[in-house]
Structure 1
Amino acid sequence: MKIIRITTDLEMTVHDFPEGTHEEQNHELRELIGNDCRIYEHVMPERLYTNLKMKNRPTKVPGQCVSMLIDEEGLLKPNHANMIGSYLYKFDEHKIPIAGNILFVGEEWTRDGIDFCGIEDETFELLHLELKNMVMAMKATKEAMNL
């Protein structure tokens, strides 16, 4: 199953969810976030669920619930704001941006609780399309404003 990465430069890439132990998966997820991410934060931005209509609770289908992973220390580093993450997190209301690259991952129930996983195929296709449209709109806005 796949996950989605969006950089502060509005570049969107698709990756396979890492395999291996929790430790190996966590290492790879931190590497994908980049900028020496040592601890990632699990974020459930409201607009991911209200505007993009993703599920905000794990179901019996692994990866139907989607959440965002960010660098816990992103605001303390020389990162730029992530326009997509900040919008989904409602920066315009509470003025706290999401800094650095972001990952969209799935969630699943396991016998040990909730774990991260790749995004279920149908959910992935919908989310990928929505995020692609957002990226294109934000790039066009930046270009029009000479940012």
Structure 2
Amino acid sequence: MRALWSVVLVLSVMLSSVSWAQSPKWKKQLEDFETFRMHCLRRDLGLSGPEASRFFELLERIAKERQRAFFEHRRALEELEAMLLQKVSEEALLSQIHRIEETMKEMERLRWKEWEEIKRMLPPDKQAHYLLLQEKFFRQYWEQLRERHRR
């Protein structure tokens, strides 16, 4: 199960890096992505009314935290790009790279926080469905992105 979760985490990082780095509208895309993700989970997970309420409150709360972390990450990447154009010192570049690494760690920490809370909230069968739905969702989303870029 840890391997499947790792695949989901890697795919989510890849998706966020590819899709939002390509577009100046990344803030709107991130919001749309989270909304679409929640819609797919709501549709396919089969939660009871109280379960769904608690589950989506959790996802929305962590999505906001993750969104803040992602915006910080994007800002740091944009600053790194500007630094490269300005030909700053290696020390300054290393400092900025360290800042980016910290934002990556924060995004990873939030993903694990979400997963740990989901494990406490859902029974094992719904945890399994959640993992499989996440993987399926990211795979389909990745395919949609590739199709858009081909056009």
Quick check: which one's strand share is greater? 1
Whether TM exceeds 0.5 here: the answer is no
Q: Which has the higher contact order (CA 8 A, sep 6+)?
A: 2
Quick check: which one's helix share is greater? 2
Q: Which of 1 and 2 has greater Rg?
A: 2
Q: TM-score, normalised by structure 2?
A: 0.36
